[in-house]
């Protein structure tokens, strides 16, 4: 099974002689590079917690050459020390694994200062921490906004774009994965590999922070990111003032050819799951919040589809006002 | 008779004719709800059937489609619009199927089959109402229940009905009818359904379906179909549509 190794710079311990306080640490692992500048006093330890990189592996032992350089920055003379080594990470261990590198930095000031203070050597203990995790992939944004997949019971279910999934295995040309959010969270699903054996799932998707939208009952206006959109609702079942969650789209709604100008019209965002009310594009409302500016639906779709509230169910919140 | 008097009489007569003409047009427009003097009176549509078979060996796909070709002998434009709407709907069903084959079906040698059967629910000089029954088989995947989708074409306006609210007295009647039909379809359903209503008029009633998922069964596909009787729907319908459905 493919796993992800997250390697972090955990802490820096500064001992030995004091050679100054302006410390730069550079770490290079398998082409990933981290540089941090920090003011550290001799005799102290500072927590850093910065990611060096993420690496995918399907091996039981992940080994990587590591180069760490410590620089005490001075106006004229930088003091530099470095250490080469390797990290050997057991990918079967779930607990964090630590690797300590000792780097000696000898002060290299002018001849005059050497005469007075002698040669000073600082010792830096740089601790790297490896955490094993499941690899993350995302569903692609297809033409109609839905990726049809198969469950382990042989049912077909659809996922909207940018759902986080954990790939589990590839068997007989199919890729098995488990979504970590949305309607099918925790279900084992599969899609075939493409003709060129590449995956339908995509990487490097960055979810954005939750969106905050507003709806005015009296004006029939939906506001998102400062932009206003004309909407309608159903007067016999009016919206009540308050805060509602906007959910991750649940399943394909309607048909593809109702509004030729509205792309992704089959993607509706649930508002208040229990009462089956949605935010969607259309011309009429039987209880939903319907955006009637059909040509502008993609603006709303694009803003909502990658946003996340952090509860695995919702993309943000909607404030309904008078 | 002096020239100026003659001119005055002729001008007065012309003005009276103009006023009477305008009044005649105004009464005609408002009493009979005729928008243009050349109102469209279409012949009864003629329906011819065509069977289309498409096979794609690469993806092991076979599609069997039976669809009508509507002929309205005295209006080529409307005739063309109706048939284009039918084509678009079928294309959309085909696209959905091909996309599902690409990402859900298994490559086990089985043929992926799409069957689209079209039924004419209503064909009057005013309305064409069509039901598309879609049955899909994806290799290695359990078959879903057949889905029923619809298109309704307003031949007088010469356009496809989008939300079908034109069939009802007003938007409130439309909303109430939608809720009533959905509740009726789901009345005996055991589970936790979440589905969208599709419907179309037929002779003495409506045909309806609700397509979505059942949350109590891990979000499995749900498709419920049924007929709505005239007695249930009549109070919501626009008077102008009633005669088409009852006749």
Average pLDDT over residues A220-245: 92
Q: Which residue has the tokens 């669809």?
A: B67
For residue B87, the model assigns a pLDDT of: 94
Chain A residue numbers touching B171 (CB-CB < 8 A) = 284
Decide if A236 and B219 are in contact by the 8 Å CB cutoff.
no
For residue B108, the model assigns a pLDDT of: 92
Q: How far apart are CA B147 and CA B92, in angstroms?
A: 14
Percent of chain A with pLDDT over 90: 74
Percent of chain A with pLDDT over 70: 95
pLDDT bin (cut points 50, 70, 90) of residue A110 is low
Chain B residue numbers touching A256 (CB-CB < 8 A) = 92, 95-96
What confidence tens digit (pLDDT) does each residue in A200-222 have? 999 889 999 999 999 999 999 99
For residue B31, the model assigns a pLDDT of: 41
What confidence tens digit (pLDDT) does each residue in B181-206 have? 999 999 999 999 999 999 999 999 99
For residue A115, the model assigns a pLDDT of: 63
The CA distance from B170 to the nearest CA of chain A, in Å, is 11
Decide if B103 and A257 are in contact by the 8 Å CB cutoff.
no
Q: How far apart are CA A311 and CA B20, in angstroms?
A: 72
For residue A274, the model assigns a pLDDT of: 66
Q: How far apart are CA A83 and CA A48, in angstroms?
A: 19
What confidence tens digit (pLDDT) does each residue in B167-185 have? 999 988 998 999 999 999 9
Q: How far apart are CA B137 and CA B62, in angstroms?
A: 10
Are the beta carbons of A185 and A165 closer than 8 angstroms?
Answer: no
Residue B37 has pLDDT above 50, yes or no: no
pLDDT bin (cut points 50, 70, 90) of residue A259 is confident
What confidence tens digit (pLDDT) does each residue in A264-301 have? 999 999 997 666 799 999 887 778 899 999 999 999 99
Q: Give the largest CA-CA distance in chain B.
A: 102
The CA distance from B133 to the nearest CA of chain A, in Å, is 14
B105 shares contact with chain A (CB less than 8 Å): yes
Average pLDDT over residues A243-262: 86
B247 shares contact with chain A (CB less than 8 Å): no
User: What is chain B's mean pLDDT, rounded?
Assistant: 87
Decide if B174 and A276 are in contact by the 8 Å CB cutoff.
no
What confidence tens digit (pLDDT) does each residue in A27-38 have? 999 999 999 999
Average pLDDT over residues A75-102: 92
Q: What per-residue string of b and e applies to B140-167 under the rule 16 or more CB within 10 Å gives b? A: bbeebeebbbbbbbbbeebebbebbbbb
For residue A116, the model assigns a pLDDT of: 63
Are the beta carbons of B182 and A288 closer than 8 angstroms?
Answer: no
Alpha helices for chain A (secondary structure H): 111-117, 297-305
What's the first-to-final CA gap in chain B, in angstroms? 64
For residue A262, the model assigns a pLDDT of: 77
What confidence tens digit (pLDDT) does each residue in B120-152 have? 999 998 899 999 999 999 999 999 999 999 999
Chain A residue numbers touching B215 (CB-CB < 8 A) = 183
Chain A residue numbers touching B219 (CB-CB < 8 A) = 157, 183-184, 187, 250-251
What confidence tens digit (pLDDT) does each residue in A113-144 have? 666 656 789 999 999 999 998 888 999 999 99
Chain A residue numbers touching B178 (CB-CB < 8 A) = 286
Which of A111-125, A243-257, A297-311, B102-116 comes out lowest in average pLDDT? A111-125
Q: Which residue has the tokens 């070709």?
A: B69
User: What is chain A's mean pLDDT, rounded?
Assistant: 91
Give the number of other CB atoms < 10 A from CB of residue B14. 10
Decide if B104 and A283 are in contact by the 8 Å CB cutoff.
no
Chain B residue numbers touching A277 (CB-CB < 8 A) = none
Residue A255 has pLDDT above 80, yes or no: no
Count Cα neighbours of A299 within 13 Å in the Cβ-side half-sphere.
13
What confidence tens digit (pLDDT) does each residue in A313-322 have? 999 999 999 8
What confidence tens digit (pLDDT) does each residue in A44-82 have? 999 999 999 989 888 899 999 999 999 998 877 889 999
- Grouping H, G, I as helix, E, B as strand and the rest as coil, residue A218 is coil
For residue B7, the model assigns a pLDDT of: 66
Residue B27 has pLDDT above 60, yes or no: no
pLDDT bin (cut points 50, 70, 90) of residue B41 is low
B94 shares contact with chain A (CB less than 8 Å): no
The CA distance from B163 to the nearest CA of chain A, in Å, is 7
Question: How far is the CA of A96 from the CAs of A60, A64, B165, in angstroms?
Answer: 15, 16, 61
Cβ-nearest to B194 among A157, A257, A276: A276
What confidence tens digit (pLDDT) does each residue in B204-227 have? 999 999 999 999 998 999 999 999
Per this entry, what is the length of chain A?
322
Cβ-nearest to A286 among B102, B142, B179: B179
Residue B23 has pLDDT above 90, yes or no: no
Cβ-nearest to B218 among A187, A236, A283: A187
B140 shares contact with chain A (CB less than 8 Å): yes
B216 shares contact with chain A (CB less than 8 Å): no
Q: Which of A251, A280, A287 to mutate to test the interface with B (most CBs of B within 10 A)?
A: A251
Which residue of chain A has the CA closest to B103? Answer: A191
Residue A97 has pLDDT above 80, yes or no: yes
Average pLDDT over residues A183-200: 94
The CA distance from A192 to the nearest CA of chain B, in Å, is 6
Decide if B141 and A150 are in contact by the 8 Å CB cutoff.
yes
Per this entry, what is the length of chain B?
247
């Amino acid at each position: 099974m493919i796993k992800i190794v997250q390697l972090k710079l955990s802490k820096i311990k500064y001992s030995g002689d004091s050679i100054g306080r302006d410390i730069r640490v550079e770490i290079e692992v398998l082409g990933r590079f981290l540089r941090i500048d920090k003011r550290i006093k001799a005799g102290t330890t500072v927590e850093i917690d910065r990611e060096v990189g993420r690496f995918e592996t399907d091996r039981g032992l992940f080994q990587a050459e590591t180069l760490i350089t410590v620089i005490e920055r001075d106006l004229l003379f930088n003091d530099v020390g470095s250490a080469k080594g390797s990290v050997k990470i057991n990918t079967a261990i779930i607990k964090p694994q630590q690797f300590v590198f000792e780097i000696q930095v000898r002060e290299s000031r002018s001849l005059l200062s050497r005469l007075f203070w002698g040669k000073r050597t600082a010792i830096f203990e740089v601790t790297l921490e490896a955490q094993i995790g499941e690899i993350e992939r995302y569903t692609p944004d297809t033409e109609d906004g839905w990726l049809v997949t198969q469950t382990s019971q042989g049912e077909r279910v659809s996922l909207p774009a940018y759902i986080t999934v954990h790939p589990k295995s590839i068997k007989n040309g199919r890729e098995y994965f488990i979504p970590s959010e949305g309607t099918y969270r925790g279900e084992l699903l599969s899609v075939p590999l493409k003709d060129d054996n590449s995956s339908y799932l995509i990487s490097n998707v960055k979810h954005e922070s939750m969106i905050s939208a507003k709806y005015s009952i009296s004006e029939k206006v939906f506001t998102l990111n400062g932009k206003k959109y004309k909407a309608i609702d159903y007067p016999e079942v009016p919206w009540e003032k308050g805060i509602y969650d906007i959910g991750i789209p649940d399943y394909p709604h309607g048909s593809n050819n109702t509004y030729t100008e509205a792309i992704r019209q089959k993607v509706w965002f649930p508002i208040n799951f229990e009462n089956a009310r949605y935010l969607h594009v259309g011309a009429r409302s039987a209880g939903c919040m319907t955006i009637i500016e059909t040509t502008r639906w993609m603006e709303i779709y694009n803003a909502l589809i990658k946003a996340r509230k952090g509860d695995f169910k919702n993309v943000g919140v909607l404030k309904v006002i008078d | 008779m002096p020239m100026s008097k003659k001119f005055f009489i002729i001008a007065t007569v012309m003005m009276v004719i103009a006023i009477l003409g305008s009044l005649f047009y105004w009464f005609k427009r408002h009493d009979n709800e005729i928008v243009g003097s050349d109102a469209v009176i279409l012949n009864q549509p003629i329906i011819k059937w065509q069977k289309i078979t498409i096979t794609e060996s690469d993806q092991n796909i076979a599609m069997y489609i039976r669809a009508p070709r509507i002929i309205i002998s005295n209006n080529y434009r409307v005739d063309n619009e109706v048939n284009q709407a039918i084509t678009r709907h079928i294309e959309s069903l085909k696209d959905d199927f091909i996309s599902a084959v690409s990402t859900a079906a298994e490559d086990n040698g089985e043929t992926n089959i799409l069957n689209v059967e079209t039924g004419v629910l209503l064909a009057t000089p005013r309305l064409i109402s069509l039901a598309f029954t879609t049955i899909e088989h994806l290799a290695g995947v359990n078959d879903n229940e057949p889905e029923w989708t619809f298109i309704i074409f307003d031949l007088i306006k010469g356009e496809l009905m989008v939300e079908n609210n034109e069939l009802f007295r007003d938007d409130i009647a439309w909303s109430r009818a939608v809720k009533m039909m959905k509740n009726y379809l789901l009345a005996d359903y055991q589970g936790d359904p979440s589905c969208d209503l599709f419907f179309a008029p037929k002779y003495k009633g409506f045909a309806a379906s609700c397509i979505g998922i059942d949350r109590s069964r891990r979000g499995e596909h749900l498709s419920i179909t049924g007929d709505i009787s005239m007695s249930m729907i009549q109070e919501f319908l626009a008077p102008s549509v009633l005669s088409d459905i009852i006749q």
